[in-house]
Amino acid sequence: MTPADLSRTVLHTVRRAVEADELSAVVPDRVTVRVPPRPGCGDYATNVALRIAQQSGRPAPEIAEVLRRRLAAEPGIARVDIAGPGFLNITLEGASHVRLVREVLDGGAGGAPRVLPEPPPELVRRLGADAARWSLLCPPGLDRDLLLVQRESNPLFCVRYAHARTRALLRNARDLGFGPEPGEMPDESAAAVLAALGDHPRVSATRAPDRLARHLERLADAFLRWQAACPTLPRGDEKPLAVHRARLALAEATGKVLADGLHQLGITAPAHL
């Protein structure tokens, strides 16, 4: 279940609760779900109960409980908890994550390369073609010379480094005699990576290059943080386990999405940095 799928499920749940007279409210046009800021709070969270409470005058925890019961019965959802003033924290079934990774690995490219304004020749000479293209997508005020340094403060470097890291993991795993296989992972920190992967088709469909660039930055940052906390490769004399194969599959899916996004922006995705 992708974030877009979950958003539709939550919206459908609100609509059914209103139709059943369990809630008295205007059904919102859309519902957003986000990765919680702290581990242990589910895979996604939504403030839809708080929004409905504002217009209905009914306490948000009561509305959240109505929606909690309905959402917990939906396929693909393992648990729904109420947090704080009425947030709904949603935990997906492990199989949903497995399906998402498999769908990314089995799917095709996200779209054709976007047509971006050509960078001025002097900018290409100063930064190189890839960095010059990325500079056109940067927020106002960013020092373009930052794109020349290979450090985490350079967003383009982080995206390309994360991609190169996924390729290195696949090469090293091959040398160790195992490959990727989507499976369950007991890694709470993987939620941000999975959320970004699931959101890629929606962002890609907007055909907004600047939004795609920010999305790739978020995915790269989430992947590198997850990698630091959850090693993909066995250590020492440890044998490759199912969790290593599952983590490797997530890394491969991340690399595929990063490469696809860079390709859409007309920027190369090197396998080595």
Specify the pLDDT at position 36.
74
pLDDT tens per residue across span 122-178: 999 999 999 999 999 887 777 888 888 888 889 999 999 999 999 999 999 999 999
Sign of CA dihedral 251, 254, 260, 264: negative
Mean pLDDT of 18-43: 82
pLDDT tens per residue across span 70-107: 999 998 888 899 998 999 999 887 667 788 898 899 88
CATH code of domain 3-92: 3.30.1360.70
Q: What percent of the chain has pLDDT over 70?
A: 94
Residue range 96-264 in CATH 1.10.730.10: yes
Going by C-alpha positions, the residue among 225, 111, 210 that lies closest to residue 165 is 225
> In the structure, what pLDDT confidence band is assigned to residue 251 with cuts at 50, 70 and 90?
very high
Domain range list for the chain: 3-92, 96-264
Per-residue pLDDT for 28 more than 90? no
Per-residue pLDDT for 110 more than 60? no
> In the structure, what pLDDT confidence band is assigned to residue 15 with cuts at 50, 70 and 90?
very high
Q: Which burial class, exposed, middle or buried, applies to 169 when counting CB atoms under 10 A from its CB (0-12, 13-18, 19+)?
A: buried
Per-residue pLDDT for 35 more than 80? no
Per-residue pLDDT for 186 more than 90? no
Specify the pLDDT at position 189.
72
> In the structure, what pLDDT confidence band is assigned to residue 40 with cuts at 50, 70 and 90?
low
* Spatial separation of the C-alpha atoms in residues 223 and 259, rounded to whole Å: 14
* Spatial separation of the C-alpha atoms in residues 265 and 133, rounded to whole Å: 8
Q: How far is CA 248 from CA 32, 112, 165, 184, in A?
A: 29, 27, 11, 12
Per-residue pLDDT for 108 more than 70? no
